[in-house]
Structure 1
Amino acid sequence: MRHTRRTVIKGMGTAGVTVGLAGCIVSDDSTGNGNGNGSDGGSSTQLWHTLAEGEADLLETYIAQFEEETDHDIAAEEVSELNEQLNTSLPVGEGPDIFTHAHDWVGPFEDRGWLYDVSDDLTIDIDETYTDTALEAATWQDGVYGLPYAAETVGLLYNRDLVDSPPETLDEMVEVMEDHHDPDDGQYGVAYPLADPYFASAWIHAFGGYLYDDEADELGHELDETIEGVELLVDSFWPYAAADPSYESQIAVFNDGNAPFVIVGPWEVSGFRDSGIDVGIARLPTVDGGDPSPYTGVQLWYFTQELEDGEALATSREFAEWYTTTDNVILSNADELGYIPVHADLSESDELSDEVAAFAENVSIGEVMPTSPKMERVWEPTRDALERILNGEEEARPAFEQAAEEIRAAWEENDL
């Protein structure tokens, strides 16, 4: 359903960092080399990711340090179209032992029997180790299917060469967008992938609306509050954006210096800076009668069913515990990549940069993405409805009512 939304968090700096083992936990039941039953049939524990270049370089540094200290062997592989590859490989026993992605795959992947519950294998007390939000994201129906290492959400990024200080209210933001919007000259008021429900969620939630409430097991598409949020998107943002609402097109507008604002996550910051944009990061602006509340995700190291019969469990478990509990890894990820820590002892550390703190503030006002398998069927019909609305083909209410019908039909068809 989504693109690089969190398959990647691009780095905020270079990857030249030394990683130590202070604070890590390595148990005595190590099996030495992983001898996993990964996709290439070799002896290494197989790790899949879709990280950007800076992230991948830093991960390789961490893995090398982990291997040197533990004598384990991990083969990391960058995999494009991760969701598609996992859907193809895991059902036939040819997937990775461990992979990284946002927490919203826990419910649907566990429902298909693709994940391994590591509850009985852990050597750390997860209740004491991670924040409540992170722990909620990593568990599903009393099982633990991954260990969390970072939170993420979108924020308001602005070009300091075009904006002196970020707006605190949406009205202030609209004034700046109007001043800069000149599409005939290739200039726009904002870059914003509005057709993606993940990015649109802040305003869909702003007045009390929602897409899916997994606790109540209810859709929110037909609520007046949801429609009000969608109409705000159409009225306040869409007039100032480029005509193509796709992620790639919108990001390119800001990356080329042609908009004062972009609403996106930390994974794009380093790329913008590499392009010469002086990027500032701020909290999403408030709006009369409500407050934006973006979907937030928690990055996990997932454990797959490959571990059930293989010999890579110790390696996978030890690496995930080490990666998510080692101070140097957590703080280096925050400093170099803009990752928002979810370790209970470091989530509010004084060592975090102003940039990470700014994204953390957006996390604090956000809503954790539902984990239920039902949520997987919500994204596409909602995206299609947003596209029809933005294209002027349909008003918000009938478009979202149709989306609700499609979602309920998909739930029934898939016995959800």
Structure 2
Amino acid sequence: MKLNKSLSMISALSLMAVSLAACGGNNGNNASPSASSESPSPSASASAPASSAASGSDELKPEDGAKLLVWESKDERAFTDEIAAEFTEKYGVPVEIAEVAPTDQVTRLSTDGPSDLGADVVIFPHDHLGRAVTGNLVLENDVFGEATKSENAESAITGVSYDGKIYGYPRAAETYALYYNKSLVKEAPKTWDDVIAVSKTLLDAKKNKFGIEWEVGNFYFSYPFIASTGGYLYGNNGTNKDDIGINNDGAVQSMTVFKSLKEVLPVKAADITPDIKRGQFTAGDIAMDMNGPWELAGYKEALGDNLGVAPIPSFGDKPAVSFSGVKAWYVSSYSKYPNAAKLFARFASSKDAQLKLNKLVGSVPTNTEAQNDPQIKDDPAISAFVAQFNNSQPMPSIPEMNNAWSPAGAALTEIWDNGKDPKAALDAAAQQIKDLNNGTAKQ
């Protein structure tokens, strides 16, 4: 899934799942939340023996007569077709796959789940998890939780957890790194000072030729200029809406670097769009592009051996901290076959499954053994994304995440386009986010 699609949360989404909770979702794993009283309760089969939960649950067995519906994106359907066939061969459980955009799945599950039309296993970006949990739409990853934690990168576990509990089964990471054209920049700059130095030698504004571009007014892509020297959006790993850190001393420090880059990129924020930037990079008009793995295939095709990928430049001796997303499987709380669904989510997120997904669609694994497999280690582009992901912060999954995009983006644009003082702009953004969080924003 392309991340520009996963950022659809920028438009505030209705928390309709909360109002639908009374229709069925449960808070545990042992009662069927189906609206139909005739639906069989999974209470007897959903709870695995204690020994099985502790051991990673080799003893968990699918329910008699189990069959699963899995929702998957069109872009990654080839992977799920293969992994579902392998799962059926191993467990004897038939799997039907339906194409539903991951960003639509939480909303769809809130309506289709109570009607017994929803999938047993769903996949969505982790920033939708807060809506899913508060709407009682997904089950906790209880049986395989400890194994999932031990096998995946810390950023991935943070992303698929909510209120101290793990719900997801991570399968891929998404963040951004530094693409560079080796015919223009022989080696990737190590620091932002290096970026500025090399960009000065490449700048030709009249011909729209620049050393570097990124979506400067997009909070997602400009988050390193908040977080790398101590800033953050929400405190306590993104869970405390009342602790806003985008305007602390650390954030202001790195935002001065952001402001200084306007000298080598004299372009209005609104004039840097994904399509324009893509065309410029593939044409050789910009040497470096801070972007995600969804551009990798196209950039490889355009630049061939001249394409390089590296982690984001550091801020002096402080590594760049990017925002990241985690795509993960989740088990619907409406599933009549929770054991089978949990087994599928586990099976389809294993090391081998993540390596298969990488081979088929170029994804970035979260499983640490997969990250260190030669298939990944020997791929300089994917390994660069892995390195950056392991130094990233997952986007907060609390519903208040939606309140940050517009104020933060407006502050970035004010600083970039109009030279506004970073501290003043960030103070204003933090206050607006706080007001939105508390329902006191001016209409």
* Match status 1:28 vs 2:52: no
- Alpha-carbon contact 2:156-2:326 (below 8 Å) kept: yes
Q: Secondary structure at the match of 1:189?
A: strand
Q: Secondary structure at the match of 2:411?
A: helix
Q: Which moved more, 1:57-66 or 1:175-184?
A: 57-66
| Inter-partner Cα distance in structure 1 for 2:301 and 2:272 | 23
Partner of 2:48: none
- Alpha-carbon contact 2:408-2:426 (below 8 Å) kept: yes
* Match status 1:383 vs 2:409: yes
* Match status 1:87 vs 2:115: no
Q: Which moved more, 1:218-227 or 1:349-358?
A: 349-358
* Match status 1:232 vs 2:257: yes
* Match status 1:198 vs 2:224: no
| Inter-partner Cα distance in structure 2 for 1:241 and 1:109 | 42
Taking structure 1 as the reference length, the TM-score comes to 0.79
Aligned with residue 142 of structure 2, among 83, 104, 119: 119
Opposite residue 293 of structure 2, the aligned amino acid is: P
* Match status 1:60 vs 2:88: no
- Alpha-carbon contact 1:188-1:242 (below 8 Å) kept: no
- Please identify the structure whose Cα radius of gyration is greater: 2
Instruction: Give, in angstroms, the shift of residue 148 of structure 1.
Output: 0.8
- Alpha-carbon contact 1:48-1:96 (below 8 Å) kept: no
Aligned with residue 269 of structure 1, among 271, 275, 296: 296
- Alpha-carbon contact 1:32-1:72 (below 8 Å) kept: no
Aligned with residue 175 of structure 1, among 189, 192, 197: 197
Quickly say closer, same or farther: Cα 1:113–1:379, change in 2 above 3 A.
farther
| Inter-partner Cα distance in structure 2 for 1:316 and 1:99 | 10
Q: Which moved more, 1:316-325 or 1:182-191?
A: 182-191
Superimposed CA distance per residue, residues 199-243 of structure 1 (whole angstroms, 9 cap, x where no aligned partner): 111121222222222358310133232123223223215742654
Opposite residue 285 of structure 1, the aligned amino acid is: P
Partner of 2:17: none
Instruction: Give, in angstroms, the shift of residue 158 of structure 1.
Output: 0.6
Query: 5 Å matches for 1:266-305?
Result: 266-276=293-303, 278-288=306-316, 290-305=318-333
Q: Which moved more, 1:207-216 or 1:171-180?
A: 207-216
Instruction: Give, in angstroms, the shift of residue 6 of structure 1.
Output: 6.8
Query: 5 Å matches for 1:151-162?
Result: 151-162=173-184
Instruction: Give, in angstroms, the shift of residue 401 of structure 1.
Output: 1.9
Partner of 1:252: 279
Q: Which moved more, 1:405-414 or 1:23-32?
A: 23-32
- Alpha-carbon contact 2:181-2:303 (below 8 Å) kept: no
| Inter-partner Cα distance in structure 2 for 1:100 and 1:287 | 35
| Inter-partner Cα distance in structure 2 for 1:273 and 1:56 | 23
Quickly say closer, same or farther: Cα 1:161–1:77, change in 2 above 3 A.
same
Aligned with residue 306 of structure 1, among 327, 334, 337: 334
Opposite residue 4 of structure 2, the aligned amino acid is: H
Quickly say closer, same or farther: Cα 1:64–1:172, change in 2 above 3 A.
same
Instruction: Give, in angstroms, the shift of residue 263 of structure 1.
Output: 0.5
Give the total of aligned pairs.
Answer: 380
Q: Secondary structure at the match of 1:4?
A: helix
Opposite residue 80 of structure 2, the aligned amino acid is: L
| Inter-partner Cα distance in structure 2 for 1:229 and 1:140 | 29
Superimposed CA distance per residue, residues 380-412 of structure 1 (whole angstroms, 9 cap, x where no aligned partner): 321232233333284433322222122111211
| Inter-partner Cα distance in structure 1 for 2:157 and 2:87 | 24
Quickly say closer, same or farther: Cα 1:312–1:231, change in 2 above 3 A.
farther
- What percent of counterpart residues are identical? 21
| Inter-partner Cα distance in structure 2 for 1:305 and 1:248 | 39
Quickly say closer, same or farther: Cα 1:57–1:241, change in 2 above 3 A.
farther
| Inter-partner Cα distance in structure 2 for 1:240 and 1:84 | 36
Aligned with residue 372 of structure 2, among 343, 348, 351: 348
| Inter-partner Cα distance in structure 2 for 1:83 and 1:104 | 10
Quickly say closer, same or farther: Cα 1:166–1:129, change in 2 above 3 A.
closer
Give unpaired runs (5+ residues) of structure 2: 9-55
- Alpha-carbon contact 2:77-2:99 (below 8 Å) kept: no
Q: Secondary structure at the match of 1:57?
A: helix
| Inter-partner Cα distance in structure 2 for 1:260 and 1:238 | 16
Asked which structure has the greater RCO (Cα within 8 Å, sep 6+), the reply is: 1
Give unpaired runs (5+ residues) of structure 1: 8-22, 35-43
- Alpha-carbon contact 1:282-1:358 (below 8 Å) kept: yes
Query: 5 Å matches for 1:355-394?
Result: 355-392=381-418, 394=420
* Match status 1:213 vs 2:246: no
* Match status 1:332 vs 2:356: yes
Instruction: Give, in angstroms, the shift of residue 144 of structure 1.
Output: 3.1
Quickly say closer, same or farther: Cα 1:256–1:100, change in 2 above 3 A.
farther
